[in-house]
Amino acid sequence: MTTTPRVRTGSRRAMFARMLLRATMVKPGRVVSALVAVMVAASVATAMMNLYVDVQAKLRKEFRSYGANIVVIAQGATGLPADALDHVKQALDERDVAVPFAYAVARTSKGEPIVVAGTEMDAVRRLNGWWSVTSWPQDAHAVLLGSRAASSVAPDGHPFTLTFEGRALTVTPGGIVRTGAAEDSRVYLNMSDFVAWTGVRPSTIEIGASGTPGEITTRVEKLKAAVPGAEVRPVRQIMEGEARVLGKTRMALLAAIAMIILTAALCVLATLTAWVLDRRRDFAIMKALGASERLVNGFFAAEAAALGAIGALAGFAIGIGVAAWIGRVNFHAAIEPRFEVLPVVLAGSVAVALISAVLPISLLRRVQPATILRGE
């Protein structure tokens, strides 16, 4: 009866798998040593990459709470076009925040000038999470007072009157904001009330955009096309500060991972080299029975790759747990498992194992069956 090629191929694969399994039983201590080295490298790499990806997302979220990183400013004195905010929102992602601001210099009941800003309170609250606010206005004609402005116009917290171009508006303090900057001297009013009172359109749109510096630059170009009559510029302090912090975090991560991978590679190299020396007789018998140089080298490379893959999978599971523990103990925050890291860790571990097998494979080429089998 003739054996089909498919059956022969299946038999060879089964024999190859049995030989790999048998190889691990010859010197189990060597296998465990190499496996532990790969597991340590994979677990640390997994933990650090999970931490970096999650911390990077958290840092970007924190930077967004420090205010706008893009500003759209009207070029003329008439303010931005009426549909400018709609065009801006269409050019942004759903997670981005766009806040319009309109400004007017009004007079208090004592005749003193004061800057009144019209805006959308809910959007400002999302954009400027760093503001220290006692409470956010909820009622009609309720205003958010800067701490210095409050001591001037409403020291007792009672309603007060503002006048702009002969039109008076009585407002009620709804909360006090303290930033240590120009906001402390302003009165913030809901945009609908502000426009109905002054007739002044927004002149500025502050935007909190999420993403990398390259993505922010792309959004700036889209905004320039969406509002051609306005000046669009990034807030360099925010962008550069974010890029600097993330860059240093990335460099520290890569340096630590490189050192760990180098150490693991040296451990695997020493283990595989000793493994080859211990099994010279086995490889000599394989060659004596007709195994080609290519087959013997491929067999040993498959053993190394299997060690790398198994160590990567075990190390990934351990690394996920380590990252969660570090996040809870040091950052007091949950670190979400990033399963997109697994292919990187798996490929890296297999690559480290194969690179470490290069020197042992060169030793295999020097194995002479006749010499080894004579006991020399």
Same domain, 49 and 187: no
Same domain, 101 and 182: yes
pLDDT band, very low/low/confident/very high, at 204 (cuts 50, 70, 90)? very high
Please indicate, yes or no, if residue 139 is contained in any of the structural domains. Answer: yes
pLDDT band, very low/low/confident/very high, at 188 (cuts 50, 70, 90)? very high
pTM: predicted TM-score of the whole model, two decimal places:
0.59
Q: How far is CA 107 from CA 38, 117, 187, 190, in A?
A: 72, 13, 11, 18
Residue span of the structural domain in which 37 resides? 15-62+244-373
Instruction: Point out the domain boundary residue: 186, 207, 234.
Output: 234
Please indicate, yes or no, if residue 2 is contained in any of the structural domains. Answer: no
- Using the predicted structure, report yes or no on whether residue 38 has a pLDDT greater than 50: yes
Helix (H, G, I), strand (E, B) or coil at 114: strand
Task: Give the pLDDT mean for 25-35.
Answer: 67
68-82, 101-115, 313-327, 362-376, range with the lowest pLDDT: 362-376
Task: Give the pLDDT mean for 81-110.
Answer: 91
pLDDT digits (tens, 9 = 90+) for 228-263: 889 998 876 555 566 666 667 677 777 877 887 787
State the CB neighbour count (10 A cutoff) for residue 305: 16
Please tell me the number of Cα atoms within 13 Å of 215 on its side-chain side: 10
Percent pLDDT > 90 in the chain is 28
Same domain, 302 and 226: no
pLDDT digits (tens, 9 = 90+) for 9-28: 555 555 555 555 555 555 56
pLDDT band, very low/low/confident/very high, at 175 (cuts 50, 70, 90)? very high
Please indicate, yes or no, if residue 213 is contained in any of the structural domains. Answer: yes
Same domain, 347 and 273: yes
Please indicate, yes or no, if residue 309 is contained in any of the structural domains. Answer: yes
Same domain, 269 and 356: yes
Domain count, the chain: 2
pLDDT band, very low/low/confident/very high, at 132 (cuts 50, 70, 90)? very high
Please indicate, yes or no, if residue 5 is contained in any of the structural domains. Answer: no
pLDDT band, very low/low/confident/very high, at 1 (cuts 50, 70, 90)? very low
Please indicate, yes or no, if residue 3 is contained in any of the structural domains. Answer: no
Longest dimension (CA), the chain: 113
pLDDT, residue 239, reads 55
Instruction: Point out the domain boundary residue: 234, 253, 288.
Output: 234
Q: How far is CA 276 from the centre of its chain?
A: 42
Instruction: Point out the domain boundary residue: 213, 234, 255.
Output: 234
Same domain, 103 and 153: yes
